Chains A and B, each alone.
Chain A
C-alpha cells in the first residue's frame, strides 16, 4: 500500500496550482458572468499538455498516469470549474475512447491534434428524450454503400459550440436496443451538421454546451469508431473514466469553497472575535475538510485502479457519487459561513455552489451511479 504522490505527480500538482492561481482564479468570475469561453486559458492548457494528460506522447499526449490526471483536474477546477470540464471532456470523453478503440489511422487524424490541444473534441450521447437510458436514443446512422447517413439531435453537448470533432453515438439497428448503438467520429465542418445556441446554464458558465443537429450528414465508413453495435460498450467504458474526471472536478470546486470559507472565518468577526473561534463554524469546517479528503481518496483509488488496468467501474461510480454530493454540501456550507456575502457575486463562493450542482447530473446522475454501485454490491 502506498498512498503517497510520486515526484511527477507532485510536480503536476504544483504546476497546475500555480497556473490556476495566476490564470484561472483572477478571471473565473468574469467568464462566469459573461458566459465566456476561456480561449486563452485553454490554449495554455494545451501547451502544458493538459488536454491529453494520459495519452502517450506518440499520439500527442503528455504520457502521464490517471492519478496525475485526477490531480490536474482537481487543481484546474479549483481555479475555474468551467475550464475543468472543458479539459475533462477533451481528455476523458474524447481522447480516451479514440485511444482505446481507434485504429492507428484514426488516431493520426482524430487523436494526435486533439491530445496536443490543437483541436477540441466532444462527446454526444445525450438526446432530448434520452439521457440515462441510452437505448432510447433516436439519432440514426444509416449505412449506404461505403458511407453512413446521420440524422438526429443531441443536446447538452459540452464543448459542442467549439468542438472540431464530435464523438457521436447513433443507432445503426434500432431493433437491437443498446446493442444497436454505434460510435462515430464526426468533423463539425461537414455539410448536414449544425449547432444550436449555447445553453444558458446555472453554473460552469465558462464552458459552453449546446444542441447539435445532424440532417442527412454523410460520413465515410472509416469514421466509425469500433464495430457496428459496439457503441454502447464504447460509451460505458468511456464514462467510467469520465467519472474520475468529474469526481476530481467536484473535489476541486469543494476545495476552493473550503479554502475561501477558512479564510473568511479567520477574517470575519462577530461578538468580538473571529467567527473561526466559534465551534459552530469550526465543526462545519472540520466536516467539510473530512469529506473533501474522503472524496479525494475515492477519486485517487479509482484512478490508480485504471492505471493498473483492473476493472474500476464501481469504484469510479463511488468516487463520482460521493465527490459530487459532497461538493454540493461543502459549497453550501461555505456559502452559509459567508452569510449574506455568500449570496452576492462579490465573493466566489456562490459560483462554487452553482458550479457544484451539475456534477451530480452529468456523466451519469447520482441515481445512475447508485444503480452501478448497487449492481456491484448485489452481484454473485
Chain B
C-alpha cells in the first residue's frame, strides 16, 4: 500500500501547482471581483495538458489517469475554485466523449477540448425543474429526417457561453418511455441560444448560464452513445465529476488552512501570536485532519477509477465529505481571521463564498447520502 503519487502523477501535480501559483492565484481576486472568465488561463491550461488529464494521448490528452487529475484539481482549486470548476467540467465532458463517442466525435471534439482551442466544454443536464432528479428532464429531441430537433431550456450550465461543445440531455422516444439521450451540440449551432447569466455569490470567474434550445437541429452524428443511453452516460460522468468536485473542495480547504496558518503566526493577541493559543492551534489541527481525510477519500475514489473498479460509492463519499468539510474549514478560517476575515482584503472571504456551492453542484449532499445509503444497504444484502 502506497499513498504517494507515482512519477507521472507527481509530474502532473507539479505542473498544476506551478501554473496555479504563478498564473491563477495572482489573477483570482480581480477575476472574482469583475466576474471575468479567465480566457487566457484556459488556453494556457490547454497548452499544459490540464484540460484533458485523463484523455488518451491519441486525441491530445495527457493520459495521466484519474489520480493525476484529482491531484491537479486540488492544486488549481487552492488558487481559484472558479478556474477549477471550468477546467473540471471541461475534463468531464472530454472523458464522456472519450468513453462513449465515435471515432469521428473523438477526433473532432477531444483534440479541440484538450488543446484549449475550444475554451471549455459544457455539461447541459440540469433544468429549472430538474436537477437532482434527471428523470424529470423536459427538453425533448424529435426525429426529423436523418437528424434530431432539440427544444427546451437548460439551467445552471457552467461555461455555457464559452464552451466549444455542449453535451445536452434530452428526452427521446415516446413520452411514456422516459428515455434520455445525450447529444453533442457545438457552439454556433443554429437554435442553441445563450440566455441569462446567473449572478452568483461565489465562483464568480466561472460563468453559469441558461441555455435555450429552439428548434435546434443536429445530425445523427451528434448522438453520444446510443439513443436511450443518456441516463447511464450522465450518471457515469457524474461519478467522475464528483471526484473533480471533491478535489476542488480539498483544494479550497488547503487554501483556507494556508491562509489561516499565515495569519495566525502574524496576528498577535495577549502578547503572543494567536497560533500559540490552543483555541486557534486546535482549530488548525482539526482543519488539517479533515483536509487529509477528504484528500484520502478523493484519491481512493480516483485510484479505483484508474483500476477500472466500481467507484460510485467511493466518489459520493469523497464528494460528500470533502464538500461538507470545506464548509467547516472556510467558516473557521474566517473566524480565525476575525473582522479581517469578513473583508475582501483577505483571501478567506472569497474562499467562504466559493466553497458554498461545493455541497450543491454535481449532486447535492443529499443526493450523495442517497447514493451511499443505497450502496451500504445493498452491500448488507
Q: Is the CB of B3 within 8 A of A1?
A: yes
Give every chain B residue within 8 A of A259 (Cβ-Cβ): 380
- Which single member of B2, B264, B290 contacts A2 (CB below 8 Å)? B2
Contact in complex: A377, B257 (CB < 8 Å): yes
In the assembled complex, the CB of A312 is this many whole angstroms from the nearest CB of chain B, namely 11
Inside 8 A of A2's CB, which chain B residues have their CB? 1-2, 303
Which of B5, B284, B297, B371 is in CB contact (< 8 Å) with A294?
B297
The answer on a CB contact under 8 Å between A378 and B281 is: yes
Q: When chains A and B are docked, how far (Å) is the Cα of A283 from the Cα of B290?
A: 20
We find that the number of chain B residues with CB closer than 8 angstroms to chain A is 47
What's the nearest-Cβ distance from chain A to residue B336, in Å? Answer: 12
Select which of A286, A294, A301, A373 is within 8 A of B372 by beta carbon.
A286
Q: Is A130 an interface residue (CB 8 A)?
A: no
Contacts of A287 in B (CB 8 A): 320, 369
Across the interface, which residues of A come within 8 angstroms of B372, CB to CB? 285-286, 289-290
Cβ proximity bits A248-268 to B, threshold 8 Å, 1 near / 0 not: 000000000001001101100
**Which of A291, A298, A377 sits near B296, CB closer than 8 Å?**
A298
A270 within 8 A of B: no
Instruction: Evaluate contact between A373 and B288: CB separation under 8 angstroms.
Output: yes
Tell me, yes or no, whether B373 is within 8 Å of chain A by CB: yes
Cβ–Cβ contact B261 & A4, under 8 A: no
Contacts of A322 in B (CB 8 A): 289-290, 293
**Chain B positions 107 through 140: 1 when the CB is less than 8 Å from some CB of chain A, otherwise 0:** 0000000000000000000000000000000000
Known: A286-B369, A286-B376. A293 touches B288 (CB 8 A): no
Interface of B is mostly: helix
Q: Is B67 an interface residue (CB 8 A)?
A: yes
Closest B residue to A376 by CB, please name it: B288
Contact among B275, B300, B370 with A3 in the assembled complex (CB-CB below 8 Å): B300
B343 shortest CB reach to chain A, Å: 24
CB distance from B112 to the nearest CB of A (A): 30
Other-chain contact of A262, B3, B278, B289, B376 (Cβ < 8 Å): B376
Mark each residue of chain B from 254 to 279: 1 if its CB lies under 8 Å from any CB of chain A, else 0: 00010001001100000000010010
Q: Assess the B281–A282 pair: CB atoms within 8 A.
A: no
Q: Are B288 and A262 in contact (CB under 8 A)?
A: no
A202 within 8 A of B: no
A369 x B285 contact (CB < 8 A): yes
One of A286, A301, A376 near B3 (C-beta < 8 A): A301
Across the A-B interface, the 9 shortest Cβ-Cβ residue pairs = A282-B373, A297-B296, A374-B281, A286-B372, A373-B285, A286-B369, A294-B293, A370-B285, A374-B285
Q: Which residues of B contact A (CB under 8 A)?
A: 1-6, 9, 67, 257, 261, 264-265, 275, 278, 281-282, 284-286, 288-290, 292-294, 296-297, 299-300, 303-304, 307, 314, 317, 320-321, 366, 368-374, 376-377, 380
